[in-house]
Structure 1
Amino acid sequence: MAQMLISLAQQNIDKQTGKKMLNVGSYGLHILMLSICFRAGCASTDWELGNALTNLKWLFKDVPARREDYTEVTGCTSFPLDFCSHRWLENVEVAERALQICPSLKMYISAAKMKTVTESLTKSFKTAEKIVQDALFPAKLKFLVLVAKEITPFLKLYQMHKPMLRFMCGDLTNMLKGLMEKFVKPSVMKDATTPVKCFQVDYANSVNRIDVTKMRIGFVTERALEEHMKQNSSEKLSLEFRQNCKLFLLKMVSKLFEKAPLKYPLVRGLSVLDPRVLLKNKETSVRKLNTVLRLLVESGRIEEQSCDDILREFGQFYDHNLMCASDSFRNFNPQMGRLDEFYHEHLSNKVEFRHLWEVVKLVLVLSHGQASVERGFSVNKEVMVDNLKEDSLIAQRIIHDHVNHIGGLLNIVYTKELLLSAAATRQKYHNYLDDQKH
């Protein structure tokens, strides 16, 4: 369905403009790209952690008497948090809270079985009973948290409006390598120094994988597994747990390789605009720029005749900044600075770089995802009330966006025009109603 939509859009654009779309993938950063992969990893195991965490929340949700019994028996006032079934990576706190209350939950279940407090017959209580009986449940949660924390920094970094696509190649490659190194042999991973070589790693081949007993499942998870082994000397359960960890990582990496935009040459080529790596190697930077220019020419976005001028200007730009401004490139921070402002400072209004600046402006508008659009849907949902008309919603969104733009309510400038406009709102409303009647 998605491919059909893309094909129709391409045909329409080609018909109207004679140009082609620049393909950086249909997912970009979409929050579900990582959540789907993470959920797929969880589903490949037999742990059913989603079901367990959901039922823990329902055990105490809207049941004051049960919450009171729990607090009275355990002395604990912390309760399970809401599990989000469609945004798995937001459940790190949910898993950590479940780990925190596991001892208290065990005390409560034991008291209920001994009839000290009322025993529930609900599904959520039965699930909680199975949880406290599963000695490996803490280890499972700790592994879940380990993998989630491997990905969450990447996801948080790219939930912003800044032009971030140029950094995605390096950051996504590092994240993938971090996951693969947990179960792929170091001798295989040592050559995965670039995105293309990372994709060439045959992680599905058992010959290239670390022995399951030596997998890197995390220090905290290893400790939890050791605690279990002290109480239960079953090597079989320990082996099954590690096998599930391997399945989790295999499925997740497989999904990421399938969804990740790294397979698109334009995404890899645009990393040439990352100031932190641009000045490291001129030959590599020129090669990446050539890739970008070729794709721009093929899509009809620039003229082929201008490419030599662009490459010449890039060479001059490289040599000049290597001598004069290398520190500003090396110390660029994507979280603090904006790439469009950075290159505007170095390229705009400079005749000697005019062709290069046109290309940079063209590729900087490419989006790394639709996080801002999805965030807009969330804002709409928050302001929506019954019978809210379109004009009212638009007005509220304009106010919301302006307040965000200026940095908060305290930064609003109450001008004379604003005060006069607010004073006349009632009259404007009556005028609007009169216009609707005619």
Structure 2
Amino acid sequence: MFPDSEIAKQFTCGEKKSAYLSVFGIAEHFMQLLKKSVSGSGLYVVLFDESLNSKMQEKQMDIHLRFWNNDTNKVDSRYLTSEFLGHATADDMISHFTHSVLEISMYGPNVNWKFLKLLQEKLKQEHNSNLINFGSCSLHIVHNSFKSGAEVTGWNISSFLSGLYYLFKDSPARREDFTKVTGCSMLPLKFVSHRWLENVPVCERAILLWDKIVTYVKAVERKQVSKPTCKSYQAVLESVQDTCFVAKLTFFKMIALQLQPFLSQYQSNKPMVVFLFEDLVMLIRSLMRRFIKSEKLEQLNEETLEKLDVTNKDFHVTYSKVEVGFSSEKALSPVRMVSAKEESIQKFKKVLNVLLNAKRVDEMDCDVLLDQYLQFLESIPMFGSEKFSNFDKSTDSAD
């Protein structure tokens, strides 16, 4: 521990004494240094978050400080202390903060908004000062926006990814059946519902295993292996029956990958707020560019962008020009259709039923549409044919 001193090498200390020296000796010293640095900066930012401490059965509110360090000439973020609370209402938390505060950093639930309001009122009354309000946590807003968008599609991707994991979790029999019928020992990854954008590897694993999953489900339905009776299998079965589910998964992954860099960049102790507005505008524009007409986007500046009515169909590009991503387009490849004509025909009939139930097509037109689809399949060039040599998948399209 002290290689430079023969005397210090003989030093020994028990566990409790070491803890005592750390808490009441070293910790106090560093606390005084921190207070001195914060006092020298004048203003500081308070960051806090509360969660259940399962061991103490109390709510633990960790408090950090962010301030300008005059010694290092840079912004520092340092842990200050933890408060343990029974109730964590805005009134309970307000007593733990002082007046030399520039900003409060929080993730934005209703209790924290009320706390901010109370703190603003207290600072105004006692010190005639205000906090800078940058709004709620941008990370949570982007994350929850992605979650809401995924849910409103009705694709049930979360049910599938979660069900796929729990279908084989703690079930040696199902794992053995899966390996037996597919010859694959790779298994799905766990889907975390409160961390949607961190589930890209989960989605990628599901796409990688998709053909194996379909093989397993078919074996179950043919009674070649035991049929699971859990809800997880039902969720997987419904997704497998969806002819476009792979395309949906790849689109889900593509949007998540588009948002991930923003979350990674701003989940940092560095002062990033000066770049926040510009980066959010670029992120929103890149998402809108997938389905909004380019001429309409060019007319919008930073102030009018958020006021655009994205539900107005006059601003939308045609369906064929919607940017769904390379992988999603590949999942809908015409080559895949012609390689399994009978299966494609059955899938197209299901599509017609969906359109018919949604009243998007007339029943009298279904036979005509089916016949046109059959002619379309016959016209798609096969591998090795002369026609196929002129078909460029990167530029040519089925329509």
CA distance in 2, matches of 1:239, 1:229: 19
Deviations 1:79-99 (A, max 9, x none): 111111111101111111111
Greater shift after overlay, 110-119 or 92-101?
A: 110-119
Alignment equivalent of 2:123, drawn from 13, 22, 38: 13
Question: Does the Cα contact within 8 Å between 1:213 and 1:239 map onto a contact in 2?
Answer: no
| Counterpart amino acid of residue 114 in structure 2 | M
Q: Does residue 1:103 correspond to 2:225, yes or no?
A: no
Aligned counterpart, 1:140:
248
Q: 1:206 to 1:236 in 2, by over 3 A?
A: farther
Question: Does the Cα contact within 8 Å between 1:189 and 1:201 map onto a contact in 2?
Answer: no
| Counterpart amino acid of residue 221 in structure 1 | S
Aligned counterpart, 1:195:
302
Aligned counterpart, 2:199:
91
How far is 1:61 from its partner?
Answer: 0.3
Q: 1:235 to 1:177 in 2, by over 3 A?
A: farther
Aligned counterpart, 2:329:
222
| Counterpart amino acid of residue 145 in structure 1 | K
Using CA pairs under 8 Å that are at least 6 residues apart, name the structure with larger relative contact order, 1 or 2: 1
Greater shift after overlay, 223-232 or 61-70?
A: 223-232
Q: 1:240 to 1:205 in 2, by over 3 A?
A: farther
Aligned counterpart, 2:378:
none
Pairs aligned (count) = 238
Alignment of 1:117-128 (within 5 A): 117-128=225-236
Alignment equivalent of 2:134, drawn from 2, 18, 24: 24
Aligned counterpart, 1:213:
320
Question: Does the Cα contact within 8 Å between 1:158 and 1:164 map onto a contact in 2?
Answer: yes
Deviations 1:329-387 (A, max 9, x none): xxxxxxxxxxxxxxxxxxxxxxxxxxxxxxxxxxxxxxxxxxxxxxxxxxxxxxxxxxx
How far is 1:173 from its partner?
Answer: 1.0
CA distance in 2, matches of 1:115, 1:236: 24
Alignment of 1:392-403 (within 5 A): none
How far is 1:211 from its partner?
Answer: 2.1
What secondary structure sits across from 2:190 in the alignment? Answer: coil
Alignment equivalent of 1:45, drawn from 148, 153, 178: 153
CA distance in 1, matches of 2:136, 2:121: 16
Q: 1:111 to 1:236 in 2, by over 3 A?
A: closer
What secondary structure sits across from 1:95 in the alignment? Answer: helix
How far is 1:3 from its partner?
Answer: 4.3
| Counterpart amino acid of residue 209 in structure 1 | H
CA distance in 2, matches of 1:91, 1:161: 23
How far is 1:59 from its partner?
Answer: 0.6
- Structure 2: gaps spanning 5 or more residues: 1-109, 339-343, 356-399
Aligned counterpart, 1:150:
258
Question: Does the Cα contact within 8 Å between 1:225 and 1:238 map onto a contact in 2?
Answer: no
CA distance in 2, matches of 1:160, 1:223: 36
CA distance in 2, matches of 1:205, 1:157: 33
Greater shift after overlay, 228-237 or 125-134?
A: 228-237
Aligned counterpart, 2:278:
170
Aligned counterpart, 1:337:
none
Question: Does the Cα contact within 8 Å between 1:229 and 1:238 map onto a contact in 2?
Answer: no
Question: Does the Cα contact within 8 Å between 1:188 and 1:201 map onto a contact in 2?
Answer: no
CA distance in 1, matches of 2:352, 2:328: 12
Identity of aligned residues (%): 34
Aligned counterpart, 2:17:
none
| Counterpart amino acid of residue 117 in structure 1 | V
CA distance in 2, matches of 1:205, 1:185: 11
What secondary structure sits across from 1:84 in the alignment? Answer: coil
So what's the TM-score if we normalise by structure 1? 0.51
Aligned counterpart, 1:370:
none
Structure 1 runs of 4+ aligned residues shifted over 6 Å read 238-241
Question: Does the Cα contact within 8 Å between 1:73 and 1:111 map onto a contact in 2?
Answer: yes
CA distance in 2, matches of 1:37, 1:235: 34
So what's the TM-score if we normalise by structure 2? 0.55
Aligned counterpart, 1:77:
185
Aligned counterpart, 2:293:
185
Q: 1:182 to 1:153 in 2, by over 3 A?
A: same
How far is 1:225 from its partner?
Answer: 2.3
| Counterpart amino acid of residue 174 in structure 1 | M
Aligned counterpart, 1:276:
none
- Structure 1: gaps spanning 5 or more residues: 242-438
| Counterpart amino acid of residue 20 in structure 1 | N
Q: 1:5 to 1:235 in 2, by over 3 A?
A: farther
How far is 1:200 from its partner?
Answer: 3.9
What secondary structure sits across from 2:277 in the alignment? Answer: helix
Deviations 1:261-280 (A, max 9, x none): xxxxxxxxxxxxxxxxxxxx
Q: 1:87 to 1:105 in 2, by over 3 A?
A: same
| Counterpart amino acid of residue 149 in structure 1 | L
CA distance in 1, matches of 2:223, 2:306: 57
| Counterpart amino acid of residue 138 in structure 1 | V
RMSD over aligned Cα atoms: 2.4
| Counterpart amino acid of residue 128 in structure 2 | G
What secondary structure sits across from 1:179 in the alignment? Answer: helix
What secondary structure sits across from 1:135 in the alignment? Answer: coil
Deviations 1:371-409 (A, max 9, x none): xxxxxxxxxxxxxxxxxxxxxxxxxxxxxxxxxxxxxxx
* Larger strand proportion of the pair: 2
Question: Does the Cα contact within 8 Å between 1:10 and 1:21 map onto a contact in 2?
Answer: yes
CA distance in 2, matches of 1:218, 1:26: 31
